[in-house]
Amino acid sequence: GFDDGGEHARLTRRRAAVMPSWLSTMYSEPIDIESGSGRHVWDAEGNRYLDFFGGILTTMTGHAVPEVTKAVSEQAGRILHSSTLYLNRPMVELAERIAELSGLDDPRVFFTTSGTEANDTALLLATGYRSSNQILALRNSYHGRSFASLAVTGNRSWSPSSLSPVQTSYVHGSRRRGTVLEGLTDEEFTEACVRDLEDTLDQLHGNVACLIAEPIQGVGGFAAPPDGLFARFREVLDRHGILWVSDEVQTGWGRTGEHFWGWQAHADNGPPDVVTFAKGIGNGLPIAGVVARGEVMDSVAANSISTFGGSPLTAAGALANLDYHQRHDLRGNARRVGAVLRAELRAAESLASVGGIRGKGLMLGVELVRSDGGPAPETAALVTERARERGLLIGKGGLEGNVLRVAPPLSLTEEEAVEGARALVEALRAADSSV
Ligand code: PMP
């Protein structure tokens, strides 16, 4: 820990120095993370936690994976120099690997340092390619915290902005309690969303650059739309030449267990034009990027340089991380262990406060409701505290903050899945009986 006179002083200092005053931490007493190994982290007091959130899905292969650590430290000893003015081997190799894995036609990769910048780049490409600053996005979405990515984020609790560099229209495409589409079957839901998209495009005379969407909304609470929805969207978009941008910041790298990318559950009418990625590829290192069809990538004439995007340090770490992922088939692991986790969580379904459990692979959401069926953010806050007391870290999400998010590293073992699920069910029971 820091040498600053104890936890309370440290906390006070951090509140003053680090956070904007309006930003709250996850727990009543923030956790001071100090080290990690595999799926576990330790705080400064020496408490051990099973990590079921991976620092918001950033930890893909696990904490302190020796192969990743070695690649980063060797690269740090070689050179830290960074700039896309020059080539560097790790960046080029990583670009080739991601292009090959992307499933896109004629793929090109551009690296950034965050998911936000990756989405900004995607918007730059789409608006340039289409000469339109009209964007379609989904209600309840989250795409980042820059001026442009906030301007396409449906969940406005993240966005204090009033001016916007793009014009965004929000269409239906996410399943959420309390909306006009609640209670529809998958088929009815899909038809309603397609009609909404068509109607919105009629209003805009089809003059739209792109639809940007998360295949499963992350911050929005892990509710997956019916498989095939985006393939139906793609058919409509194609009539106007509108691009499909898939934000795979949370759903990429096999997180859903079924596929390598979330969009692949919606692939009937071809791949997206642009995919954005971040989080898991760096295993905690700041690396992200865009992979796009060559024609789209080349359409923006501005000679764009990113100083830190694809730095040899982060690229070397990401390469080792991706190697580990593929050698151990972590996509397959996410499916197998995700099924174990889902089965164990079934024990929570009978609790009054549990409105439903949803998601895919190692991306599971537990929705908490009040007795009248309305959202229960207070119960969610209570469960996260009770889980912490049982040595388990989980996340929260959903527009109302009433969805628990479970997204462990993709290397989670079956034993850890069982252990963590049981701790979560106990935490849910403890909170259930106190509300
Ligand atoms: N897109 C999605 C779907 C995200 O979940 C996030 C981060 N939560 C972002 C974009 C932004 O990524 P970053 O925080 O790396 O800027």
Tell me, yes or no, whether 260 and 180 share the same domain: yes
Report the pLDDT value the prediction gives residue 157, as an integer from 0 to 100. 72
Tell me, yes or no, whether 298 and 368 share the same domain: no
Tell me, yes or no, whether 56 and 183 share the same domain: no
Tell me, yes or no, whether 321 and 335 share the same domain: no
Instruction: Determine phi and psi for 232, rounding to 5 degrees.
Output: -65, -40
What DSSP letter does each residue of 72-84 carry, written as one string? HHHHHHH-----T
Tell me, yes or no, whether 98 and 226 share the same domain: yes
Tokens of 12: 């006070």
**Residue owning the nearest CA to atom 14 of ligand 1:** 115
The finding on whether 278 has its CB within 6 A of some atom of ligand 1 is: yes
Among 327, 354, 370, where does a domain finish?
327
What CATH number does residue 231 fall under?
3.40.640.10
Among 299, 327, 355, where does a domain finish?
327
Instruction: Determine phi and psi for 389, rounding to 5 degrees.
Output: -60, -25
Burial of 44 (0-12, 13-18, 19+ CB in 10 A): middle
The finding on whether 114 has its CB within 6 A of some atom of ligand 1 is: yes
Tell me, yes or no, whether 279 and 294 share the same domain: yes
| pLDDT above 80: residue 338 | yes
The finding on whether 255 has its CB within 6 A of some atom of ligand 1 is: no
* Nearest atom (ligand 1) to Cα of 114: 15
The finding on whether 407 has its CB within 6 A of some atom of ligand 1 is: no
Tell me, yes or no, whether 215 and 178 share the same domain: yes
Report the pLDDT value the prediction gives residue 3, as an integer from 0 to 100. 52
Tokens of 276: 């954005």
The finding on whether 221 has its CB within 6 A of some atom of ligand 1 is: no
Tell me, yes or no, whether 90 and 195 share the same domain: yes
* Residue 252 in domain: yes
* Nearest atom (ligand 1) to Cα of 144: 11
Tell me, yes or no, whether 276 and 370 share the same domain: no
**Residue owning the nearest CA to atom 1 of ligand 1:** 143
What CATH number does residue 354 fall under?
3.90.1150.10
* Nearest atom (ligand 1) to Cα of 219: 5
CA angle, residues 154, 111, 228, in degrees to nearest 5: 45
The finding on whether 247 has its CB within 6 A of some atom of ligand 1 is: yes
Between the CA of 142 and the centroid of ligand 1 the distance, in Å, is 7
Kindly provide the b/e burial profile for residues 302-333, where b requires at least 16 CB atoms within 10 angstroms of the residue's own CB. Answer: eeeebebbbbbbbbbbbbbbbebbeeeebbeb
Alpha helix stretches (DSSP H) within 298-376: 312-327, 330-345
Between the CA of 218 and the centroid of ligand 1 the distance, in Å, is 9
- Domain carrying residue 50: 31-61+329-432
Between the CA of 272 and the centroid of ligand 1 the distance, in Å, is 18
Tell me, yes or no, whether 408 and 346 share the same domain: yes
What DSSP letter does each residue of 99-164 carry, written as one string? HHHH--SSEEEEEESSHHHHHHHHHHHHHHHHT--EEEEETT----SSHHHHTT-S-GGG------
CB atoms within 10 A of CB 29: 11
Tell me, yes or no, whether 359 and 298 share the same domain: no
Return d(Cα 402, Cα 186) in angstroms, integer: 23
* Residue 247 in domain: yes
Taking phi over 0 as left and psi of -120 to 50 as alpha, with beta for the rest, 228 belongs to left
User: Do 8 and 44 touch, CB atoms closer than 8 A?
Assistant: no
Between the CA of 156 and the centroid of ligand 1 the distance, in Å, is 15
Report the pLDDT value the prediction gives residue 81, as an integer from 0 to 100. 83
Q: Which amino acid is at 206?
A: G
Tell me, yes or no, whether 235 and 356 share the same domain: no
Report the pLDDT value the prediction gives residue 22, as an integer from 0 to 100. 52
**pLDDT tens digits for range 21-61:** 555 678 888 888 999 999 999 999 999 999 999 989 999 99
Q: How many domains does the chain have?
A: 2
Pocket test for ligand 1, best of 142, 277, 403 (most atoms within 8 A of CB): 142
Among 312, 327, 342, where does a domain finish?
327
Alpha helix stretches (DSSP H) within 246-371: 294-297, 312-327, 330-345
Q: For residue 33, list its beta bridge partners.
A: 43
**pLDDT tens digits for range 85-122:** 788 999 999 999 999 999 999 999 999 999 999 999 99
pTM exceeds 0.90, yes or no: yes
